A and B are shown apart, each in its own frame.
Chain A
């Protein structure tokens, strides 16, 4: 099997040059591309016109699930399933349910946030098509990498390389499947 092209990558070391370049790539209309950075660069997601994450809704569902579980559990076990007179206290009252309502809301939110994050970022995935590329490896260290994927409709290896070089990227090269 001949080596198929995965995409084209280019390196940046200056964050301002990167931001300018990212804006251009966005304007060029590429869809399947990404910028790999060692830390979150402010505003880069907006420059890339990434749709706002719906993670907040997932988290909110976790909160609702948590508080519903807590209220339902305390009410059903205490007042319905086994009503037990303990020191003359109410079988259920929202006042005493507050600590657990709160804790389970937090727990539900946290679990759903992390699961939602993993889902949205497709984690864990122990394989990445760029994983053997040296530029890509440096992207968690000190280099910003723009990678345009080969499966983008507008992709052409030559054009993409030229485009990235124009934008000031260094070490622009094609990544082949290993």
Chain B
């Protein structure tokens, strides 16, 4: 690697100047390594969490949601809090894979695969929550418009129906996007791994991808289209989730700021979760070469920015509540900050608005223990944001006689722990058996991986560069 002078201006995206083979070998070594006792114990732990949650879910489904702490004014509690929380977590993946792709942010290549995986797993958790809160999840198909003997249709005038479409579309498109991204990497593993069984499995799921240029030609267009449509999609999903609240006329919910505020919060929480898991991943799987401090630095900047957006929204909500002149609106916000749930409100505010402020300092943005702790704070804060929004508005409704207070039962807490179990179990399986780094994409951004100029016959403007001798940068062979 000699001809890197033009790359020196920016920090390299991949450290150690690996060759193409090095990239393949590094990722394949994760897949091929023997399953360690440590991994099995961790998996056992998370699977136990998942199992415990599934037991609580079983208890809920067989008994009814009366086993939850919901009561009359508070019809939504941890169920919807967790749903919005998990949907939010999912947003970072699509943001990284789609929006950063469109903005040609090459640093995304190291983290997009795992972030997209988190999206899918988080949406699975969200769907678990939202289906179980219907009370009779085996009738889930009633949420869909299908011709039935009742001659009934879904009420398309309700935001809850929009939500069904938004979340399912989001899940489907994210999964497709993820799978399309995986195809070349599965093919790489198919041809690289030694075990016959692994060859068969990767061979099956790679669908016979060959790396043919004629295929890459379609593939790049497909990837661009998927990124292009995922970008408005990711913005729409949490907007539609926020409609669940804003279309209702309850003070504290009926707010025009909700869609952008929810989207910013979702990206904020999603990045925090990606950060939490990536910091662990890059240590355990030894991916420091690919997930560099530059990546973490960039993510911290995004967290700082989105954290300020939600902070702005928190403060603006109070201003608008006062400015509206509506007694109910003003009161519900005073109650939010100083009422029964003040503890939740101030936890949220401290975690989400105050804690990310340390990322103004470059040294903090590159301090791994610190960013790990802050990311956990943000996870907690963003969960409390959803809880605050739901509980403070519902617990004091228009009828003072019915005012109440909501606390979860052990069942709700168990289900929430269970969703973490499901999420972490799926992520662990993913990290072990699926290429955690987008191999083909990382290869394509290695220095010297792309031709110094295009030899296309229609590239007249390239003729000036054609005089420059081709730079041989393929190291390691």
Q: How far is the CB of A115 from chain B (nearest CB, A)?
A: 10
Contact (Cβ within 8 A) B213 A35: yes
A120 to B213 Cα, complex, angstroms? 12
Contacts of B243 in A (CB 8 A): 99
Tell whether, in the assembled complex, residue B176 and residue A111 are in contact, meaning their CB atoms are under 8 Å apart: yes
Nearest-neighbour CB distance to chain A for B460, whole angstroms, equals 13
Hey, which chain B residues are within 8 Å of A39, CB to CB? 184, 440-441, 443-444, 449
Q: Say yes or no: B153 contacts A110, CB within 8 Å.
A: no
Q: How far is the CB of A151 from chain B (nearest CB, A)?
A: 15
B211 adjacent to A36 (CB under 8 Å): yes
Give which listed residue, A77, A106, A121, A139, contacts B219 with CB less than 8 A.
Answer: A121
Question: How many contacts between A and B, using CB within 8 angstroms?
Answer: 241
The answer to whether A65 has its CB under 8 Å from any CB of chain B is: no
Distance between Cα atoms of A38 and B187 in the complex (Å):
9
B216 and chain A: residue at smallest CB distance: A40
Contact pattern, A 86-111, Cβ under 8 Å of B = 1, otherwise 0: 11010000001101101110110111
The answer to whether B192 touches A42 (Cβ under 8 A) is no
Q: Mark A104-137, 1 if CB is under 8 A from B, else 0.
A: 1011011101101110111111111010000011
Interface size in chain A (residues, C-beta < 8 A): 75
Give residues of chain B (136-189) contacting chain A, Cβ–Cβ below 8 Å: 145, 151-159, 161-162, 165-166, 168-169, 172-173, 176-177, 179-180, 183-184, 187-188
**Residues of B at under 8 Å CB distance from A?**
19-21, 24, 145, 151-159, 161-162, 165-166, 168-169, 172-173, 176-177, 179-180, 183-184, 187-188, 190-192, 203-204, 207-222, 225-226, 229-230, 232-233, 236, 240, 243, 439-441, 443-444, 448-452, 454-459, 470-472, 474, 477
A 24-78 contacts with B by CB, 8 A: 34-50, 53, 55-56, 59, 73-74, 77-78
Is the CB–CB distance between A42 and B450 below 8 Å? yes
Tell me the nearest residue of chain A to B166, going by C-beta. A103
**Which 6 A-B pairs rank lowest in CB-CB distance, beginning with the nearest?**
A16-B470, A43-B454, A124-B207, A142-B20, A77-B153, A46-B456
Q: Residue A20 at the B interface, CB < 8 A?
A: yes
User: Can you list 21 A-B contacts with CB-CB less than 8 angstroms, sorted by A residue number?
Assistant: A14-B470, A39-B184, A42-B450, A43-B456, A49-B457, A50-B217, A55-B222, A99-B159, A102-B232, A110-B173, A113-B222, A114-B176, A117-B219, A121-B212, A123-B183, A123-B215, A126-B208, A127-B208, A136-B210, A137-B191, A140-B211
Which residues on B sit within 8 Å (CB–CB) of A153? none
Give A residues with C-beta under 8 Å from B.
13-20, 22-23, 34-50, 53, 55-56, 59, 73-74, 77-78, 81-82, 84, 86-87, 89, 96-97, 99-100, 102-104, 106-107, 109-111, 113-114, 116-118, 120-128, 130, 136-142
Choice from B155, B450, B459 contacting A15 with Cβ under 8 Å: B450
Which A residue sits closest to B476, measured CB to CB? Answer: A142
Instruction: Report the Cα distance A106→B230, complex, angstroms.
Output: 8
For B219, list chain A residues within 8 Å (CB).
Answer: 40, 117, 121
Question: Which residue from chain B places its CB closest to the CB of A147 in the assembled complex?
Answer: B212
The answer to whether B454 touches A46, judged by C-beta atoms less than 8 angstroms apart, is yes
